Structure 1
Amino acid sequence: MQDYRTLKLLDCFERIFSGFGVDYKIMRRLLQVKLTMDGRRVPTIFSQNAKKENKEKNNQYIKSLWIYVLFGLFLIPFVLMGDNYLFQMSLFYGIFTFFVMTSMISDFSSVLLDIRDRNILFPKPVDRKTISTAKMVHVTIYLSFLTIALAGIPLIVGLIKNGLLFFLIAAVNIILIDLLVVGLTALIYLSILRFFDGEKLKDIINYVQIGLSLMIMVGYQLLIRSFELIDLTVSLQPKWWQVFIFPMWFGANIEMMMKGTFQPFYLIFSALGLIVPILSIWIYLKFTSTFEQNLQKLAYHGKSKEKKRSKVGQFLLNIICRSPEERAVFRFAGSMMRNERDFKLKAYPSLGFSIVIPFIIIMNTLREDFVQLSDSKSYLTIYFSLIIIPTIMILLKYSGKYKGAFIYRVAPLKQLKLVFSGTIKAFIFKLYLPVYLLLSALFLFLFGAKILPDLVAVFISACLYAVICFMVLKKALPFSESFDEYNQNGNSAIIFGLMLIVALFAGLHFASTLLPYGIYLYLGVSIICLGIFWKLAFNISWEQIVE
């Protein structure tokens, strides 16, 4: 195995690890194996550029760091924009935390929740503390690479512009944020592991990952709204809830040290920025043994309870799907979307964003002028909920159990049309419709019942848009491909092009509101187009399927 340079650097701290009771030689060997195995794992952000023949020869994560360097360049303006350090560095740390946290969720949760060490090493004469430390150092190595790639260039720019003191404080803050992210992520998982087990636990972890993604987006908006722009000067109005926006903790200590403003507000925030990260990582290390013990619950596969079908649900299903074959596909696709964890982890955050984004657009547009909200056409921002449809339409091809796709060949299906139409209907009614109904209820509360025809028209447009996406995208049987192939076919450009169609729908809808009863004309035309496209879209033969 290759002797990595990171391990040679780690050798300088051998005495420190030994002083904590860790068998350094065994830990080093474990890390060497882990780093070698990482060469076969493709990070989420870089999966589209990974080729199978190179996976075992190169560490794809290291190769992907140039993307994070590119993201880091967008942080430079926050360092250069002025001397309001609380404002600019709070934004800097907020964006930095977003990238680190999402990377922890997508790439490092599998490391924190890995139980293979227990199965392979626990029967061997290897100390438990050594195994846990190897896992923690493994995460720390890659988190260090990510941190340097993201913040390295902006910090050098900050050193040149603001001096050595700024550089040192900013660097220490970034280390504290890394500790906070790792500690909080581990403690959240530890709390879940403490009370749940088996299949329920895996589902909860999945929803926690999704929830963290949404909290980051909402938190970023709260951070922006903590500051006000008055006569081109940014000012802060202290509020009690700002204590929970932790990027401001680290912006406050830079403001305090660089300008010497030792006000109670800055002192409290600076103290939180120092104490909470250290406390979180200390608590995690304190309960590491408990964490490792509870990880064994992940090996338990509980029996899923079969849900009873209600008469109302069966009646609605008979209306949605006319043939028995299509109803069977509808139930199958709905079950896959509900139970496939990889699918949920990739698709559900997008559904959550589709709820948040319309309101973010409204808030950014109107700011405090909510009096005129009900008389405006801001309800058309609900079209932003459509932009997630192409991504999920692509995801419908993939599954962690893709080898079971042979069932399509042996099932007594008269035609493939029913397979595709049943799957699309399952997506629309099982995933998109609940989100859209929630959005519609909120919009009806904000804008009144007068927009009800508009909401119906948007839903018809969403169904039409899903059919158009299906017609444009490459054809493949639902859930028949591995997630390892996800995004390797250059779908980004196609998705961007399809999103432009959403703008076309929104433009036509807006134009219809300028005419008397125009919305009803738009609604009628949309229904006719949906009927025509639906009949044409699913006439797919076996020869057209990508296998």
Structure 2
Amino acid sequence: MGSVKWLQILDPLRGLFERSGVDYPMMRRILEMKLLMDGRRVPTLIQKSSKTADPDNQSNQFIKSLWIYVVISVVLVPFVVMKTNYMFQMSLVFGILMFMITTSMISDFSSVMLDVRDRNILFSKPVQRRTISMAKLLHVLIYLLLLTGSLTVVPLVVGLFRHGVLFFLLFLVEVILMDFFIVVLTAVLYWLVLRFFDGEKLKDIINYVQIGLTIVMTVGYQFISRLFNFVDLKVAFRPQWWEIFIFPAWFASPFEWLLGEGKSPLIVIFSVLSVVGPLVAWWVYSLLMPSFERNLQKLASHHGRGKSGGFRLQEGLGKLFCRGKLERLFFRFSWDMMGRERDFKLKVYPQLGFSIIFPFIFMFNTLRSEGGFAAMRTGKGFLFLYFCALMIPSIIMMLKYSGNYKGAWIYQTAPLTDTAPVYKGALKAMVVRLFAPVFLLQAVIFLIIFGARIVPDLVVILLGVLLYVVVSFMALEKGLPFSQPFQGSQSGSGFVIFGLLVLLGVFAGAHFGFTFLPYGEYLYMLLLLVLNLLAWKLAFRELPAS
């Protein structure tokens, strides 16, 4: 059957696990089986055409994608290299790391932490619940440490040569403690939701909590740079009591205390919290594990959704935006799947949080440079609304995945002579259900800030985003909606999505350029209208049937 030899690194901690009530041999065996199964995933519909049938080639796609995070980690190098102020530079480093790791946690690892399949196999066996919970937690931690290692390997090496061995060791320890803290914080958050809700309502609330957590983490990251004052190109940090709630400041404080010049009592307190906080959080989670597992069974309950006016709404929207019965049919099908497919929502809905807040973050960051709110209102800050479309390439890429992908046999049995209505209906459902509410909310707020003068610009932005949807669809790898398992969703498309994000900036730049021409907004509007008519007509020719 095989084994995972490197799990022997857990053996020195056996006593610690057993003192916390965990059956260590059983826990290690369960964890070993989980890791082995991760490397034996069911191949996707794309993989089924592969020439090789060697199961060893069907390796974990997450591990194969770690090199992308190594590339991203280069962003942290300038902050590690500088010797301005340890508290300043390391708060930024840990702020970025906590932001990226937490968002990955809630989007990629929630399905592991909230997995209820263990109940069907292990709960009927003489296995302690605490042992099962610890195996699940370590399963998440292993992948989280791989992710964190990829994000920090370059900064760690640079820090070793730039600041010495003590900096390297301190950085390594604080990163590990940060990972423990993130896992427990996420688990406790889910425990609170599980404690008070159940069934389908709980599954919806989890998605809303993820969006809220994404927003809180993003906005919280903005506070980090506000902790510091720049005086004569020197960074001054004056710790305040309320900064105890800014978690990245905890993990940055030991660098300032041991390597820098910060010896204030609050710096010492923050440094102690960076060690005690994760350990106490781990202890609290170990106490909550039995309750967590008991409440987790609520996710296995399925209650039928009552009929509501939602059907009439999607029926009316389908008639309004779709041409032909088949296109309207798949508009309604995709609408329902996006609202009920829990795995899809776990991966996609947190991205809505980014799209909601990014335009406002970039806009308000320009307040200082433009001389205040009054000056900003007369400027072109409304162009930041283009950032609400950041989510579109990722969501289009995710449209072909589903937890119920085995139902895709319906595509082969249905008399489909042309798959264009299938793709077109799914894309329009994505635009109307996911993008339109975000855009309308932000458009209203921008109208309040900038006034009625930007109404033509809002129309231009909407037309530009609709064209961007079609271009993204053409550039990304295609698959019939909700027809492939999520196991393949980690692979590929990274560079394509990056290129599409650059293209979004090109759209915004072109809009900015046209504003300097007489009636430039209306000229750009006419150009985009023509391009949309052509693109939506030509993009759906010769599409794959499977």
TM-score range for the pair, normalised by the shorter chain length: 0.7 to 0.9
| Bigger Cα displacement from structure 2, 391-400 vs 61-70 | 61-70
How has the CA–CA distance of structure 1 residues 123 and 78 changed in structure 2, closer, same or farther, with 3 Å as cutoff? same
**Could you list the per-position Cα deviations for residues 255-309 of structure 1 after superposition, in whole angstroms to 9, with x for gaps in the alignment?**
1233453324324433443443233222111111111111122221221222225
What letter corresponds to residue 404 of structure 1 in structure 2? G
Residue in structure 2 matched with residue 486 of structure 1 by the alignment? 489
Q: Is the 8 A contact 2:419 2:545 kept in 1?
A: no
AA at the equivalent of 2:376: L
Q: C-alpha distance in 2, partners of 1:64/1:465? A: 26
C-alpha separation between the residues in 2 aligned to 1:416 and 1:61?
A: 31
Instruction: Tell me the amino acid that sits aligned with residue 193 of structure 2.
Output: I
Q: Is 1:85 matched up with 2:93?
A: no
- Inter-CA distance 63–118: structure 2 relative to 1 (3 Å threshold): same
Cα distance, 1:353 vs. partner?
1.9
Q: Are 1:248 and 2:249 counterparts?
A: yes
Shift of 1:197: 1.7
Aligned to 1:8: 8
Structure 1 alignment gaps of length 5 or more:
none
Per-residue displacement from partner, 1:103-141 (whole Å, max 9, x unpaired)?
Answer: 433444333223333322222222333333333344444
* C-alpha distance in structure 2 between counterparts of 1:21 and 1:424, whole Å: 51
Paired residue type of 2:309: K
Cα distance change, pair 319–296 in 1 and its aligned pair in 2 (3 A):
closer
- Quick one: which of 395, 402, 406 aligns to 2:405? 402
C-alpha distance in 1, partners of 2:62/2:533?
A: 46
| Residue aligning to 1:337 | 338
CA RMSD of aligned residues (A): 3.3
Alignment of 1:357-368 (within 5 A): 357-367=358-368
- Specify the alignment match of 1:304 in structure 2: 305
Question: How far off is 1:196 after superposition?
Answer: 1.5
5+ residue gaps, structure 2, are none
Q: Flag the 1:259–1:316 CA change in 2: closer, same or farther, 3 A.
A: closer
Q: Which of 506, 509, 513 does residue 508 from structure 2 map onto?
A: 506
User: What's 1:198 paired with?
Assistant: 199
Aligned 8 A contact 2:241 2:266 in 1? no
TM-score, scaled to structure 1: 0.86
Counterpart position of 1:448: 451
Q: In 2 relative to 1, CA 95–525 (structure 1 residues): closer, same or farther, beyond 3 Å?
A: closer
Aligned residue identity for 1:330:
F
Q: Tell me if structure 1 keeps the 8 A contact 2:65–2:490.
A: no
1:289 equivalent in structure 2 = 290
Call closer, same or farther: CA 1:204–1:516 in 2, change over 3 Å: same
Q: Give the match for residue 376 of structure 1.
A: 379
1:32 partnered with 2:36:
no
Q: Which one-letter code corresponds to 2:457 in the other structure?
A: D
* Partner SS, residue 235 of structure 2: strand
Which amino acid in the other structure matches residue 524 of structure 2? Y
**Identity score, percent:** 49
Residue 226 (structure 1) shift: 2.4
CA contact (8 A) 1:14 1:24 kept: yes
Does the alignment pair 1:518 with 2:520?
yes
Bigger mean CA deviation after superposition, 193-202 or 97-106:
97-106
The one-letter code sitting in structure 1 at the alignment partner of 2:226 is R
Paired amino acid for 2:336: S
Counterpart-to-counterpart distance in 1, 2:69 and 2:327: 45
- CA contact under 8 A between 1:227 and 1:234: conserved in structure 2? yes
1:422-457 deviation digits (Å, cap 9, x = unpaired): 333222222211111111112112211110111012
TM-fit CA distance, 1:188: 0.7
Q: How does 1:142-161 map to 2 (within 5 A)?
A: 142-151=143-152, 154-155=155-156, 157-161=158-162
- Residue in structure 2 matched with residue 388 of structure 1 by the alignment: 391
The amino acid across from 2:513 in the alignment is: A
Give runs of aligned pairs for residues 83-482 of structure 1, distance below 5 A.
83-151=84-152, 154-155=155-156, 157-163=158-164, 165-236=166-237, 238=239, 242-259=243-260, 261-309=262-310, 317-321=318-322, 323-367=324-368, 369-370=371-372, 371-408=374-411, 410-411=413-414, 416-473=419-476, 476-482=479-485
For 1:74 and 1:464, locate their aligned partners in 2 and report how far apart those are by CA, in whole Å: 31
Q: Deviations over 1:330-381 (max 9, x none)?
A: 2222112222233323333333322222223223444363331011112112
Question: TM-score normalized by structure 2?
Answer: 0.86
- State the partner residue of 1:23: 23
The question of whether the paired residues in 1 share the 8 Å contact of 2:334 and 2:426 is answered with yes
Hey, what's the Cα distance between the residues in 2 that align with 1:161 and 1:497? 33
Comparing 206-215 with 447-456, greater Cα deviation is found at 206-215
Q: CA deviation at 1:58?
A: 5.3
SS at match of 2:391: helix
Shift, 1:324, TM fit: 4.1
Q: 1:57, 1:311 → 2: CA distance?
A: 44
Alignment of 1:41-56 (within 5 A): 53=54
C-alpha distance in 1, partners of 2:401/2:59? 25
Q: Quick check: 1:321–1:327 contact (8 Å CA) kept in 2?
A: yes
Aligned with residue 536 of structure 2, among 534, 537, 540 = 534
C-alpha contact (below 8 Å) 1:41/1:55 kept by paired residues = no
Distance 2:511 2:157 in 1: 49
Compared CA separation, residues 214 and 485, structure 1 to 2 (3 A): same
What SS does the corresponding residue of 2:229 show, helix, strand or coil? strand
* SS of residue matched to 1:302: coil
Q: Which amino acid aligns with 1:502?
A: L
Shift of 1:473: 4.7
- List per-residue Cα deviations over 1:194-244 (Å, max 9, x = no partner): 112222222322333344334333322221232233322122355665332
Equivalent residue of 2:175, what SS?
helix
Contact kept, 8 Å, 1:69 with 1:149, in 2: the verdict is: yes
CA distance in 2, matches of 1:37, 1:312: 42
Within 2, Cα distance between the matches of 1:398 and 1:19?
A: 42
Report deviation, 1:383: 2.0
From the superposition, tell whether residues 480 and 450 of structure 1 become closer, same or farther in structure 2 (CA, over 3 Å).
same
Call closer, same or farther: CA 1:523–1:251 in 2, change over 3 Å.
same
Deviation string, structure 1 residues 482-523 (Cα, Å, up to 9, x no partner):
3334365x4344434444543443343223322333322332
Which secondary structure does the structure 2 equivalent of 1:125 belong to?
A: coil
Superposed displacement of residue 150, structure 1: 4.1
Contact 2:355–2:391 (8 Å) recurs in 1: yes
SS at match of 2:259: helix
Amino acid across the alignment from 2:512 = F
Instruction: Give, as a single letter, the amino acid of the residue that structure 1 aligns with 2:17.
Output: F
Q: CA deviation at 1:404?
A: 2.7
Instruction: Look up the equivalent residue of 2:252 and give its one-letter code.
Output: G
Instruction: Report how many residues are paired.
Output: 537
**1:385, distance to aligned residue in structure 2 (A):** 2.6
Q: Which stretch of structure 1 is more off in the superposition, 272-281 or 82-91?
A: 272-281
1:298-322 Cα offsets, whole Å, 9 max, x none, are: 2212212222258777555533335
